[in-house]
């Protein structure tokens, strides 16, 4: 009725808050938070000083006492009780002790299909950690019970071949319910998202109302050049991403123009097909004035962006000189941190490339949109070097530029 899971696969369940299934959806922690038992508590259990009994449950289906919820708010697509014994990485490697440790448990559980029935199983989890063996040691041991909504865990014994120091964090025992649950999709043809767009420190911020049934959102927007006669129709030439949050920021790297956006929710249905909701109304049009245009259109530049899952992106701005040669590029991702990656090309007096700088991480002194007009980093120099022939002693110029007779 239960199965041991491969050590290579299951650590992902533990180390990440969610994993992806074959439909691209997320397995998340459902029910109460992850339960953790540290070594100090396991030692007291092993010595018979303390007893341990704990209950894990999904409150959308059942309460702590094992009583089923009358009208569940959500429907369970998949769930599993995952119990693991996991070696931890310590900040000081010399404190990492080699050991062989075993925890024995009694697990009683109720499945979603029949909440009135209680099944039980005895579980033995073991670690055999030895840093001298390289990577060929057992540092994780997991077990999973499918379709569990409620479980009671009792630790019967803890045995180790060494004595761990007080307050050691070398490994821990964890237990949680992972799975996937959904709410019924709406029947209304119109869903009020109340989408709003605004300017915020060199960014365009998009915000909309949360829909409890939606697992992700399709966000679509369009930037219309100020000199274009194109309308705000988002059916053509729009950018679309899929995100989980109800807000998103886009850098204002554009000429003067207009900005408009819309959103729709999507979720997984009980038959595991995807329900895609109707589009919201378009947001009010946001005007980008000439004074807010990137670099005020004083430098030749090109902007490219690459998108990944869940709205993660990499923005790249490339600057050119008056002859169309690349002078500098700046790259920034929208993940945590404010670092830029800068690179620059240098040319000789004939316009031939001579030096390509290595990619260099830069960190601004203030948390602002580094591509914006108030950047604390000096952006590229003008199209020609400030050092000219007239500023170099004539004899040096002749030695460098004139061939020997």
Starting at the edge strand that comes first in sequence, how are the strands of the sheet with 52-57 ordered?
Answer: 52-57, 148-160, 99-111, 114-129
**Which pLDDT score is estimated for 35?**
93
Nearest alpha carbon to residue 248 among 192, 303, 190, 200: 200
Q: Where in the chain is the domain with CATH 2.60.40.10?
A: 196-295
Q: What local confidence, expressed as pLDDT, does residue 403 receive?
A: 42
Q: Which residues contact 172 (CB under 8 A, 6 or more apart)?
A: 36, 37, 38, 39, 85, 86, 88
Q: Which positions of the chain have pLDDT values less than 70?
A: 1-27, 71-73, 134-135, 297, 336-338, 364-405
For residue 338, the model assigns a pLDDT of: 66
Q: If residue 101 lies in a helix (H) or strand (E), which one and from where to where?
A: strand 99-111
Strand partners, 361: 341
Nearest to 115 by CA among 58, 187, 51, 192: 58
Q: Which two tokens stand for residue 204?
A: 């365009």
Terminal-to-terminal C-alpha distance of the chain: 93
pLDDT, position 26: 54
pLDDT at 27: 67
Burial class (CB in 10 A: 0-12, 13-18, 19+), 360: exposed
Pick the CATH number of 196-295 from 1.10.3720.10, 2.60.40.10, 2.60.120.10, 3.40.50.720: 2.60.40.10
Which pLDDT score, from 0 to 100, does residue 180 have? Answer: 84
Tokens of 244: 């989980």
Tell whether pTM > 0.85: no
Predicted local confidence at residue 138, as pLDDT: 85
């Amino acid at each position: 009725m239960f199965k041991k899971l491969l050590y290579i696969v299951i650590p992902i369940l533990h180390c990440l808050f969610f994993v992806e299934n074959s439909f691209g959806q997320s397995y998340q922690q459902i029910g109460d938070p992850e339960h953790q038992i540290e070594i100090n508590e396991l030692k007291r259990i092993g010595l018979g000083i303390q007893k341990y009994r704990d209950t894990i449950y999904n409150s959308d289906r059942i309460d702590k006492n094992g009583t089923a919820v009358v009208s569940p708010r959500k429907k369970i697509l998949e769930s599993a009780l995952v119990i693991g014994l996991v070696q931890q990485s310590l900040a000081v490697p010399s404190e990492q002790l080699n050991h062989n440790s075993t925890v024995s448990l009694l697990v009683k559980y109720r499945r979603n299909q029949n909440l009135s029935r209680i099944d039980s199983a005895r579980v033995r989890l073991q670690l055999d950690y030895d840093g001298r063996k390289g990577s060929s040691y057992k540092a994780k041991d997991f077990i999973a019970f499918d379709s569990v909504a409620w479980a009671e865990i009792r630790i019967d014994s803890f045995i180790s071949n060494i004595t761990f120091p007080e307050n050691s964090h070398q490994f821990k025992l964890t237990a949680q319910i992972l799975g996937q649950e959904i709410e019924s999709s709406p029947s209304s043809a119109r869903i009020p998202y109340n989408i709003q767009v605004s300017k915020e420190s060199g960014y365009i911020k998009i915000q909309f109302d949360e829909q409890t049934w939606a697992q992700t959102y399709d966000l679509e927007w369009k930037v219309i050049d100020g000199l274009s006669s194109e309308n705000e129709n988002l059916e053509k030439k729009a950018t679309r991403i899929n995100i989980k949050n109800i807000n998103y920021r886009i850098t204002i790297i554009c000429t003067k123009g207009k900005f408009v956006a819309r959103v729709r929710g999507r979720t997984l249905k009980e038959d595991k097909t995807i329900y895609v909701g109707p589009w919201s109304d378009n947001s009010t049009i946001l005007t980008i004035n000439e004074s807010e245009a990137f670099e005020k259109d004083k430098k030749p530049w090109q902007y490219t962006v690459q998108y990944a899952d869940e709205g993660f992106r990499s923005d790249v701005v490339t600057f050119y000189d008056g002859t169309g040669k690349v002078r500098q590029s700046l790259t920034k991702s929208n993940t945590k941190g404010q670092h830029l990656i800068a690179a620059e090309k240098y040319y000789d007096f004939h316009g031939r490339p001579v030096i390509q700088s290595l990619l260099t991480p830069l960190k601004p002194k203030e948390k602002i949109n580094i591509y914006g007009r108030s950047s604390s980093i000096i952006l590229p120099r003008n199209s020609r070097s400030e050092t000219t022939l007239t500023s170099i002693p004539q004899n040096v110029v002749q030695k460098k530029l004139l061939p020997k007779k």
